[in-house]
Amino acid sequence: PDLYWRQEPNVELTDKTQEEWDKAFALLNGFNIDKGVEDIASTIAFVRTLPSVTGGVGAVGYCLGGLLAFLTATRTDADSAVSYYGVNLDKFLGEAGKIQSPLLMHIAEEDEFVPAEARAKIIEALKDNPHVEIHTYPGCQHAFARNNGIHYVDAAAKAANARTLKAFEAMR
């Protein structure tokens, strides 16, 4: 879904200019997390009605979407979710006990938007959940898997994307 439709429909941003960074943070700060998860739940419900959908329905998200993928695993009936470098996730760890379907997490070990203490808290809180698989990426910064992004790391992105594909193939 177009997650920012309430603020600015069809917005597209890159990480190439300070103006785009500023706009991204303004949208992030004004984003209603609960409404965003409701939009995802509605999207999942709609997708399940499509005749071409014969397997599970999953969600993948990056940055804010990484947080939303975690919350999708805690608040919706998605069959699987994948979180890439989710931000502010440590503030929602109280919901971790609600995860009942697979959640794959990709965590950048040098993420400038997720402090080391927050990363450690996330890993500690989720490490014993049998539905959660966590992979960390040494030397990687936020958005290491963003094609043509300023922090793109080819080997890490390929490893994360292969794990993501495997997770979604398991839903068939």
44 occurs within a structural domain: no
Average pLDDT, the chain: 95
72 occurs within a structural domain: yes
pTM here is: 0.93
- Model pLDDT, residue 13: 83
Give 96-110 pLDDT, tens digit per residue: 999 999 999 999 999
2 occurs within a structural domain: no
Q: Could you tell me the sign of the dihedral formed by the alpha carbons of 13, 19, 23, 25, in that order?
A: positive
- H or E segment at 105? strand 103-108
8 occurs within a structural domain: no
- Model pLDDT, residue 76: 97
Residue 138: give the domain boundaries.
Answer: 56-169
159 occurs within a structural domain: yes
118 occurs within a structural domain: yes
| pLDDT, average across residues 68-87 | 97
Q: Could you tell me the sign of the dihedral formed by the alpha carbons of 138, 141, 143, 145, in that order?
A: negative
| pLDDT, average across residues 56-69 | 96
Q: What is the CATH number of the domain that holds 148?
A: 3.40.50.1820
| Active-site option among 77, 90, 142, 151 | 142
14 occurs within a structural domain: no
Total of domains in the chain: 1
Is the confidence at residue 163, as pLDDT, over 80? Answer: yes
- Model pLDDT, residue 23: 92
| Active-site option among 39, 111, 128, 131 | 111
Cβ 107 vs Cβ 134: under 8 Å: yes
pLDDT band of residue 93 (cuts 50, 70, 90) is very high
Question: 79 catalytic, yes or no?
Answer: no
46 occurs within a structural domain: no
Question: 151 catalytic, yes or no?
Answer: no
